[in-house]
């Protein structure tokens, strides 16, 4: 792996990319995960590579919904495991959620690697659901292997955090009256458009922010947590995210500013 100097203007972004490449080489990340990362990287650039207000509002509402849930579940895939495994474990502990390893490009070998990686990052074995070892069920109207979910995980969950998800499953989960919280840098993706709460932020920033909100909101009375969820409007958040990209592009189109 090439050494990236801290002085490099794209140090953080290049390090995230290297974490994905390492995750691919160690069997955590799918080939398609590298491409998905490239798309995310481009969109993050447009957003300004920081957690904007629309993201912070969605992160707070997402955490409040997860804290209020009876059966909260975090669905984890290869990219999420490679980038934020220990943070996912911390968040799961705060919101008291199960972690379901649920892959789009299903492979038992990769699921086992992700399982080991989560354990190495502090997860308790009893909090992780690995398909193949436990009772499974199928969600209706989905063609991909993400239709298969754990009976005591996504199937019975009332609120699910789905980082880097696909649109079909988000839609199917919504039809089953579940609250779906998506993390997706593309505010125009079907997942982003379908989710109940859409966090338009890079997962490497979103999960640490959700941990911060979680530590605070966990001490709030339930009616105050409920107020955060009830006052949240996803359409407004999506609109702000798209407008923010537009405004940034307009500002960047002033070439003098870009070339400074
Ligand atoms: O590990 P698997 O088999 O479950 O596969 C995982 C991937 C990500 C390959 C799979 O879910 C997939 O193909 O996803 P999509 O449909 O490509 O969607 C990924 C979305 O995540 C895209 O809209 C990307 O812009 C976005 N994205 C990529 N990297 C990040 C991101 N969003 C937030 N943070 C990122 N770091």
pLDDT the model gives residue 124: 93
Give the whole-angstrom CA distance, residue 209 versus residue 52: 11
Residues β-bridged to residue 98: 73
Distance of CA 25 to the CA centre of its chain: 22
In terms of Cα–Cα distance, which of 244, 214, 255, 256 is closest to 51?
A: 244
Q: Is the CB of 189 under 6 A from ligand 1?
A: yes
Nearest CA to ligand 1 atom 23: 186
104 and 145 in contact (C-beta within 8 Å)? yes
Nearest CA to ligand 1 atom 9: 33
| Distance from Cα 30 to the centre of ligand 1, integer Å | 10
pLDDT the model gives residue 1: 59
Give the whole-angstrom CA distance, residue 122 versus residue 125: 9
Neighbour count for residue 210 (Cβ, 10 Å):
29
Ligand 1 pocket: which of 62, 79, 131 to mutate (most atoms within 8 A of CB): 79
Helices and strands of the chain, counted as H and E runs: 11, 8
Q: Is the CB of 17 under 6 A from ligand 1?
A: no
State which ligand 1 atom lies nearest to the alpha carbon of 166.
16
Ligand 1 pocket: which of 147, 164, 165 to mutate (most atoms within 8 A of CB): 164
Nearest CA to ligand 1 atom 18: 164
Nearest CA to ligand 1 atom 30: 40
Give the whole-angstrom CA distance, residue 260 versus residue 254: 11
Helix axis angle, 108-120 to 78-95, nearest 10°: 50
| Distance from Cα 36 to the centre of ligand 1, integer Å | 5
| Distance from Cα 230 to the centre of ligand 1, integer Å | 28
Tokens for 100, please give them: 């379901």
pLDDT the model gives residue 14: 85
Give the whole-angstrom CA distance, residue 179 versus residue 36: 24
Give the whole-angstrom CA distance, residue 211 versus residue 93: 10
130 and 112 in contact (C-beta within 8 Å)? yes
Reported as type and span, the H/E element at residue 140 is none
Tokens for 227, please give them: 């107020």
pLDDT the model gives residue 43: 96
DSSP letter (8 states) at residue 159: E
pLDDT the model gives residue 13: 85
pLDDT the model gives residue 256: 65
| Distance from Cα 163 to the centre of ligand 1, integer Å | 8
Residues β-bridged to residue 49: none
pLDDT the model gives residue 6: 78
Nearest CA to ligand 1 atom 1: 78
In terms of Cα–Cα distance, which of 225, 223, 222, 158 is closest to 196?
A: 158
From first to last of its 260 residues, the chain has per-residue pLDDT tens of 567 777 777 878 888 999 999 999 999 999 999 999 999 999 999 999 999 999 999 999 999 999 999 999 999 999 999 999 999 999 999 999 999 999 999 899 999 999 999 999 999 999 999 988 799 999 988 888 888 999 999 999 999 999 998 788 899 999 999 999 999 999 999 999 999 999 999 999 999 999 999 999 999 999 999 999 999 999 999 999 999 999 999 988 886 655 55
State which ligand 1 atom lies nearest to the alpha carbon of 165.
11
Q: Is the CB of 216 under 6 A from ligand 1?
A: no
């Amino acid at each position: 792996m090439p050494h990236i100097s801290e002085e490099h203007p794209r140090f953080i972004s290049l390090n995230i990319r290297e974490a994905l490449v390492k995750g691919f080489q160690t069997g955590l990340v799918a080939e398609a995960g590298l491409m998905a990362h490239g798309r995310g990287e481009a969109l993050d650039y447009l957003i300004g590579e920081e957690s904007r207000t629309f993201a912070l509002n969605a992160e707070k509402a997402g955490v409040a919904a997860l804290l209020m849930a009876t059966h909260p579940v975090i669905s984890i895939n290869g990219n999420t495991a490679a980038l934020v495994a220990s943070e996912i474990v911390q968040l799961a502990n705060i919101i008291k959620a199960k972690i379901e390893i649920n892959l789009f490009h299903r492979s038992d070998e990769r699921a086992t690697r992700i399982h080991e990686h989560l354990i190495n990052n502090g997860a308790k074995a009893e909090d992780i659901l690995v398909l193949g070892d436990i009772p499974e069920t199928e969600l209706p109207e989905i063609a991909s292997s993400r239709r298969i979910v754990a009976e005591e995980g996504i199937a019975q969950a009332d609120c699910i955090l789905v980082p880097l998800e696909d649109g079909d499953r988000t839609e199917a989960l919504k039809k089953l009256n579940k609250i779906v919280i998506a993390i997706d840098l593309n505010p125009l993706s079907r997942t982003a458009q379908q989710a109940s709460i859409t966090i338009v932020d890079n997962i490497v920033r979103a999960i640490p922010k959700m941990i911060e909100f979680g530590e605070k909101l966990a001490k709030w009375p339930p009616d105050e947590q409920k107020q955060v969820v009830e006052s949240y409007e996803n359409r407004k958040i999506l609109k702000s995210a798209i407008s923010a990209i537009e405004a940034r592009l307009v500002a960047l189109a002033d070439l003098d500013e870009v070339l400074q």
